[in-house]
């Protein structure tokens, strides 16, 4: 990968997250790129990569702090509550891959 520019790295990370991670809503898979959440997730998780602190607990903590508005903004649900376990595992794998490559 060898991306030295932070902006390029964030964009690549966001793109991979957006294509690989989805929210499961009533058995519908809404990918984070379609929900326009991939960039926010990448920006929030990027510090874990740079500090070499990627682990499942830290990722879950960050995902729990990202609100997703539902019902036209009447309610907010933490993103972690909308991601199936396999997507959480995939996300950690993506972050670990980026951590190894920077």
In 3D space, the residue among 60, 15, 55 whose CA is nearest the CA of residue 38 turns out to be: 15
Q: Is 25 left (phi over 0), alpha (psi -120 to 50) or beta?
A: beta
Q: Say what the pLDDT of residue 1 is.
A: 44
Percent of the chain with pLDDT over 70: 96
Percent of the chain with pLDDT over 90: 90
The DSSP bridge partners found for residue 23 are: 30
Going by C-beta distance under 8 Å and a sequence separation of 6 or more, which residues neighbour residue 28?
none
| Residue 94 burial (C-beta neighbours within 10 Å; 0-12, 13-18, 19+) | buried
Q: Is the pTM of this model over 0.95?
A: no
> What is the arithmetic mean of pLDDT over 77-100?
97
> What is the arithmetic mean of pLDDT over 35-42?
98
Q: Say what the pLDDT of residue 51 is.
A: 93
Q: Say what the pLDDT of residue 2 is.
A: 47
């Amino acid at each position: 990968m060898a991306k030295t520019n932070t902006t390029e790295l964030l964009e690549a990370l966001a793109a991979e997250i957006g294509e690989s991670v989805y929210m499961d809503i009533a058995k519908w898979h809404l990918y984070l790129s379609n929900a326009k959440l991939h960039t926010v997730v990448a920006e929030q998780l990027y510090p874990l990569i740079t500090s070499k602190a990627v682990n499942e607990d830290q990722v879950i903590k960050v995902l729990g702090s990202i609100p997703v508005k539902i019902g036209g903004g009447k309610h907010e649900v933490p993103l972690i509550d909308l991601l199936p376990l396999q997507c959480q595992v995939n996300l950690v794998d993506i972050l670990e891959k980026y951590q190894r490559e920077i």
